[in-house]
Structure 1
Amino acid sequence: MQQFTMSKAAVKISGDLLSNPLCEQDQAFLDSMTALDTAMKRMDSFNQEKVSVEYSGVFPSLNMAVKRREQALQDYRRLQSKVEKYEEKEKTGPIMVKLHQAREELRPVREDFEAKNKQLLDEMPKFYHSRIDYFQPSFEALIRAQVVYFTEMHKIFSELTDQIDQAGMTDEQRERENEAKLNELRALSIVADD
């Protein structure tokens, strides 16, 4: 989820800019950074509410089956390790009793793991072979989600532009102004030529 990561980074950047000491010195800069921070938070909120929902529940039953199998595997390995520990010890009466108990405890856990593993081994090839049938509607859903996402982002950034662009300058005028300011900065003696 590139948009999700990007929006998290944008929120961090806008928060860092908002806490910049320049915001304390320049009210216009503070207003711009506040508007940017609000827009970035709206973008992140939109991602969390809308876009991530599109992807998180695509195959909930398959995801749950894999998680249940992983949990069963962890339980199986833990108990198998316990059995192996008793098998390595000297074969005294109490150890043999504990070994027998550990094997009895292991049996249903192993059967549970093997059943869950077999189910996935049976179903995963079927799932894999049906991928083409799923690809077309998934691709269509992805495109629709992208349209929704970028439509909302256009709205958020248009509102941000309206808030920040109070001078009503054209893009060319703003570009010339930015270039002039950059040239002033480059002319400072503390700026090294690359």
Structure 2
Amino acid sequence: MNWNPFKPEPKKQIVPKAVERDFEREYGRLQQLEEQTKKLQKDMKKSIEADLAMSKSAVKISSDLLGNPLCEPDPGFLEMVTALDTAMKRMDAFNQEKVNQIQKTAMDPLKRFSSVFPSLNMAVKRREQALQEYKRLQSKLEKYEDKDKTGTVIAKLHQAREELRPVQHDFTVKNEQLLDEMPKFYNSRIDYFKPSFESLIRAQVVYYTEMSRVFGDLAQQVDRVEMTDDERERENEARLAELRGLSIVADD
């Protein structure tokens, strides 16, 4: 909590130390929750953007291959690239469905939950302002209580008590309300987020189940030519060696 050492502190203990510790503990937990919620929201946004970029790039690659002259003279290769293009478009469609589901059931609830924290922080700020006013008027009251009780001092003492009473009540109400509601808000996080995270997990399960089917179908079409990766690499090297032997690419 904010504390100005240059302001006079009242002799009377305004807030019991145990109560102040409870308040700081509860507010500290909410500050941590706010930070973690913002981080999770940010990370999920990055994940969604990366997912969309990945599937869009995959579709573009397969589409570019289809329009490339490489495919025209080889019907078998053209068939394989066409199968790849179909698979990438299916992947992109399922990915978009997954992203929409995550946005609706996880991201949007996260945003709504985060929107509560500014009001909470403002309530804590108002409580702190009420506490500082309470301390100021309590110090003022104590100053007159320490003076000789002349008629003027007694009148000012009475006035100070009258000024203090509503401020004390205002702080007490704000303090008790926050001490009651902050733990409730913190403990509600599980019931609030559980459906969202369950939906997030289900969306991933559905997506990767569909991807297993999509790439399973693709594998059946591209695995017709039996060749290991080593064999493909040796064939590529042989073709590259032939290309390097052409006069148009020969070293000067």
Aligned twin of 1:52: 100
1:157 CA displacement: 2.2
For the 8 Å contact 2:62–2:85, the answer to whether it is kept is: yes
Matched, 1:156 2:214: yes
Amino acid at match of 1:42: R
* Alignment of 1:8 onto 2:8: no
1-structure distance, mates of 2:186, 2:245: 64
Instruction: Report how far residue 14 of structure 1 moved.
Output: 0.9
1:10-68 C-alpha deviation (Å, 9 max, x unpaired): 111111111112222221221111111001001001111234312333264775899xx
**What SS does structure 2 have at the residue aligned with 1:24?**
coil
CA-based RMSD: 4.1
Is the Cα–Cα contact under 8 Å of residues 51 and 149 in structure 1 kept in the other structure? Answer: no
Distance 1:121 1:150, change over 3 A: same
Amino acid at match of 1:121: P
Is the contact between residue 80 and residue 221 of structure 2 (CA under 8 Å) also seen in structure 1?
Answer: yes
SS at match of 1:17: helix
Question: Is 1:174 the equivalent of 2:171?
Answer: no
**TM-score, normalised by the number of residues in structure 1:** 0.53
1:122 matched to 2:170? The reply is no
**Matching residue's letter, 2:97:** E
Task: Report the CA distance between 1:162 and its aligned residue.
Answer: 1.9
Gaps of 5+ in 1: 67-116
Structure 2, unaligned runs of 5 or more: 1-47, 123-181
Cα deviations by residue, 1:138-159 (Å, 9 ceiling, x for unpaired): 6665455444433433332232
With over 3 angstroms needed to count, the CA separation of the structure-2 counterparts of 1:149 and 1:177, relative to structure 1, is farther
Q: Percent identity?
A: 55
State TM-score, norm by structure 2: 0.43
Give the stretch that moved more between structures: 142-151 or 33-42: 142-151
**Aligned counterparts of 1:17 and 1:142: Cα–Cα separation in 2:** 34
Q: Mean alpha-carbon deviation: is it higher for 136-145 or for 158-167?
A: 136-145
* Structure 2 CA distance for partners of 1:175 and 1:154, relative to 1, 3 Å: farther
The yes-or-no answer on 1:29 pairing with 2:62 is: no
Q: Which residue of 2 aligns with 1:19?
A: 67
Residues 72 and 78, structure 2, Cα contact 8 Å, conserved in 1: yes
Q: Partner letter of residue 164 of structure 1?
A: V
Mapped partners of 2:197, 2:109: distance in 1: 20
Partner Cα separation in structure 2 for residue 176 and residue 184 of structure 1:
12
Q: Conserved in 1, the CA contact under 8 Å of 2:58 and 2:88?
A: yes
Q: 1:38 to 1:123 in 2, by over 3 A?
A: farther
Alignment partners' CA distance in 1, 2:121 and 2:109: 12
Q: Quote how far apart the aligned CAs of 1:124 are.
A: 8.3
Aligned length: 142
